[in-house]
Amino acid sequence: MPRSPLCIAGILVLLATARLPAQSTYVSEVPLGIDWIIVPDDNRMSREKVELGKQLFFDPRLSGDQTVSCATCHNPNQGWADNRRFSEGVRGAKTSRNVPSIVNVGLHRTFFWDGRAASLEEQALFPLENRDEMDIRLDQLEKRLRNIAGYRRQFDTLFSDGVTAKNVARALAAFQRTIVAGETPYDRFRGGHANALEGEIGVGSGLFFGKAHCGNCHIAKVYTDHQFHNIGSGLETGQQDRGLAQHTGRQEDVGKFRTPLLRDLALTAPYFHDGSKGTLEEVVDFYNEGGGKNPNLDPHIVPLQLTAAEKQALVTFLREGLRSRDYPHVEKPPLPK
């Protein structure tokens, strides 16, 4: 049965041992196939902090006009993402990029498609202040939450300085680190179950790590190399999103985006930073044709010459071979008053 990400009794946060880096803590009880999730020293996990983060995640009062919550775009019933190409923020404003899933987000080393945040804590504040997302000043947010007795009590209990934007980010990050999924057929295969990849799923797995070259960037186990690549998506509009270059300012980074995680892809359509591909079949066709030609195209992106049967097997692996048995389902909590 799926395990709630809030079963903190079942999520061990351990102090470092001799085999782990000093001065670190970890979410260590995770599904098969998932790496331990590093927890920063200044934001140790606790059941109470995660519960606070969960409430904040679902609370539309975190947005300027009190209509949009984090869960509006990261919907648990839609793969913790959004089934639209671009999500809607306050006043119906459209986001400029497709919303990525936050499942296993604690495994990332950088955040956002362009990598502009270095931690989940840092990431949490960007959507709050973004005019097209939640559009609230941080001082306004702090004042609003202090006026809610239930929140004020929780913050005062957990943090010496009570309600601050930094502590909002800490609580949200703690909750998001519990959104984990794994134990896919491929995870079970890696764990020693040789029959976990039978039939077309197994054929697709061989293509993924072989002829299709997907494994060059989507490295086994984590399914990302934690790098940024230009695959040429979005060029059909005539304007290329600057991607990583928007953060670094370097011309060679134009059109590069972070390699996404791949588990449970079937739940998170549409795909790519611009949501331009509506199905996994379209994604495979795009890569099979060699991506979108442009001067900065990644050298890994070349025509694959897959047959129709091979493309179908690859899609089957992406859809079925990477489907988690242990998937996080969360109900909206009662909100503090």
Q: Can you tell me the distance from the alpha carbon of 70 to that of 335, in angstroms, rounded to the nearest whole number?
A: 14
CB 149 within 8 A of CB 163: no
What is the CB neighbour count within 10 angstroms for residue 21? 8
74 is in an annotated binding site: yes
Residue carrying structure tokens 């960037």: 217
Scored b (16 or more CB within 10 A) or e, 194-216 reads eebbeebbbbbbbbbbeebbbee
7 is in an annotated binding site: no
Binding site listing: 70, 73-74, 214, 217-218
Binding-site residue positions for heme c: 70, 73-74, 214, 217-218
